Amino acid sequence: MKGGFVRKTLDLLVITVGSAIFAFSVSLLLEPYGIVPGGVTGISLLLNKLFPVLPIGVLVLVINIPLFIVSWRLLGHQFLFYTGYGTVVSAVLIDIFPIFIPAIDTEPLLAGVFGGLLTGVGLGFVFMKGATTGGSDIVARLLKFPFPSMNIGRLILIFDGCVAIMAGVVFGSLNNMLYAVITLYISSQAIDGILYGLNVERMAFIISENIPKIVESISQKLGRGATLLHGEGSYSGKDIKIILCAVKRQQIAALKSIIKEADPKAFMILTEANEVLGEGFGDYNSMI
């Protein structure tokens, strides 16, 4: 019971930090230079420009209500609680930050670049804990069900890109639209970097004449298990065994050394694996 309380408290702390970074970027870097970040926040910025009396944060909360209703059924109560918390924190801070902190004085391009970076980092922290800040973030999470192979950052980029283009058309500013596209791209890369890039593992396929020695060394020296796949040589027609093994990036050099020592003529293919779940790697409870 106590452990669950501590875990949820830490989750909310990370969501708070991520939401604050996101709000800081939107209110002090992007909005002052007319750069629309896309999604519900971008739509709220557009409406605020047309109707200045409507606060951006309030618009974000109002537009998110129907999305919360949909996500309640499909994504669960905890998701709604965490997302509601993240949305409220970010929306409130978007309206509060400009009151106490002046907009950052810089070039629009730099504002777009660093605004996109901070936005992506902030959202990455929020997504890491199974929450969102509402808007297209929720839509992206919902689309992970029918399109599980697509990264969150790319899904958000599609939706937010449409909003950025719409903003350029509405305000007739090609420069601002291009700045927004740069911002969105950097943001999507930062999100995927936080969610996936820090945990990019390697998948090794090894064909060798000394399979037992390599498997034993992988187990003893790397502490990793391996799976033997059965194949057939296309030229020789001989039955062969293929080692399938997932390793951490920092273990690649050691793996190469193991193979070189056991069989210098071995054939190995190394490929990236965005996520590896199971013993010694990721936890299924933290899937995005």
Do 59 and 167 share a structural domain?
A: yes
> Per-residue pLDDT for 107 more than 90?
yes
> Per-residue pLDDT for 118 more than 90?
yes
Q: What is the largest CA-CA distance in the chain?
A: 77
Do 212 and 110 share a structural domain?
A: no
Q: Which of 144, 166, 195 is the last residue in one of the domains?
A: 195
Cα three-residue angle 273-274-277, rounded to 5 degrees: 85
Do 232 and 132 share a structural domain?
A: no
> Residue 130 and residue 250: Cα distance in Å, rounded?
27
Alpha helical stretches, state H, the chain? 2-25, 39-50, 56-75, 77-100, 108-128, 136-143, 152-171, 174-195, 211-217, 252-262
Do 250 and 188 share a structural domain?
A: no
277 strand-pairing partners: 282
Q: Are 176 and 188 in contact (CB under 8 A)?
A: no
Do 256 and 124 share a structural domain?
A: no
- Say what percent of the chain tops pLDDT 70: 87
The residue that leads in pLDDT, 1 or 191, is: 191
> Per-residue pLDDT for 76 more than 80?
no
Q: Are 135 and 84 in contact (CB under 8 A)?
A: no
The residue that leads in pLDDT, 4 or 29, is: 29
- CATH code of the domain in which 244 resides: 3.30.70.120
Q: Which of 195, 184, 18 lies closest to 89 in space, CA to CA?
A: 18
Do 46 and 167 share a structural domain?
A: yes
Q: What is the pLDDT of residue 30?
A: 93
Do 96 and 191 share a structural domain?
A: yes
- Quick one: average pLDDT of 39-60? 87
pLDDT tens column, 255-283:
888 898 889 889 999 887 766 666 555 55
The residue that leads in pLDDT, 275 or 114, is: 114
Q: Which of 3-17, 97-111, 195-209 has the lowest mean pLDDT?
A: 195-209
Q: Domain count of the chain?
A: 2
- The b/e string for 134-151 (b: 16+ C-beta within 10 A; e otherwise) is bbbbbbbbbbbeeeeeeb
Do 8 and 91 share a structural domain?
A: yes
Domain, as residue range, for 69:
2-195
State the residue for tokens 């890039």: 197
> Within a 13 Å sphere around the CA of 19, how many CA atoms are in the beta-carbon half?
27
Sheet strands side by side (includes 201-207): 227-232, 239-247, 201-207, 267-273
Do 82 and 24 share a structural domain?
A: yes
pLDDT tens column, 203-226:
889 998 899 999 988 888 888 888
Mean pLDDT over all residues of the chain? 83
Q: Which of 172, 195, 218 is the last residue in one of the domains?
A: 195
> Per-residue pLDDT for 1 more than 60?
no
Do 153 and 170 share a structural domain?
A: yes
206 strand-pairing partners: 243, 268
Q: What is the pLDDT of residue 89?
A: 94
- Quick one: average pLDDT of 14-19? 95
> Per-residue pLDDT for 285 more than 60?
no
Reported as a pLDDT band with limits 50, 70 and 90, residue 153 is low
Do 164 and 221 share a structural domain?
A: no
Reported as a pLDDT band with limits 50, 70 and 90, residue 249 is confident
Q: What is the pTM of this model?
A: 0.70
Q: Which of 253, 182, 258, 184 lies closest to 219 in space, CA to CA?
A: 258
Reported as a pLDDT band with limits 50, 70 and 90, residue 162 is confident
> Residue 272 and residue 245: Cα distance in Å, rounded?
12
Q: Which of 41-45, 97-101, 137-141, 177-181 has the lowest mean pLDDT?
A: 137-141
- Quick one: average pLDDT of 3-26? 91
- Quick one: average pLDDT of 111-120? 95
Q: What is the pLDDT of residue 217?
A: 87
> Residue 75 and residue 123: Cα distance in Å, rounded?
18
Reported as a pLDDT band with limits 50, 70 and 90, residue 59 is very high
Q: Which of 195, 224, 239 is the last residue in one of the domains?
A: 195
Contacts of 204 (CB under 8 A, 6+ apart): 243, 244, 245, 246, 247, 255, 268, 269, 270
Q: What is the pLDDT of residue 113?
A: 96
